[in-house]
Amino acid sequence: MRLLHTSDWHLGHTLRDQPRAMEHALFLGWLLERLLVERPDSLLVAGDIYDSANPPASAQAMFYRFLSAARRLRPDLDLVVIGGNHDSAARLDAPHPLLEA
């Protein structure tokens, strides 16, 4: 089994009041490329997907777009997302029904 592990994305984080959305978008694009090149069986995202339990809508949209793109690129990929101390379990579980459709 091939596993790709990542964590601590902190989507929605700002640095000195400057949004980091561009950095996050570049990282997620790179990660999608890695899924194609490395061909892991599973992607494990271990905590702190968001920077807070109540992230901005833009951070949630970025996460949902990533999940959708990963599913399109690798329909057979097992996606395992574990919440961290900055995450809300209910918020992380919200896209589950969409991914199953």
Q: Which domain holds residue 50?
A: 3-100
Give tens-digit pLDDT for 54-88.
899 999 999 999 999 999 999 999 999 988 876 66
Calculate the alpha carbon distances from 31 to 40, 45, 51, 58 in Å.
12, 11, 19, 19
Give the C-alpha separation, 87 to 82, whole Å: 9
| β-pair partners for 82 | 46
Say what the pTM is. Answer: 0.85
**What CATH number is associated with residue 56?**
3.60.21.10
State the residue for tokens 């209910």.
90
When divided into structural domains, the chain yields a total of 1
From the number of C-beta atoms within 10 Å of its C-beta (0-12, 13-18, 19+), residue 81 rates as middle
Pair of tokens at residue 87: 């995450």
pLDDT of res. 96: 64
Give tens-digit pLDDT for 20-32.
999 999 999 999 9
Secondary structure letter of residue 86 according to DSSP: T
CB atoms within 10 A of CB 20: 16
Pair of tokens at residue 43: 């992607």
Calculate the alpha carbon distances from 28 to 20, 40, 73 in Å.
12, 16, 13
pLDDT of res. 82: 87
pLDDT of res. 100: 65
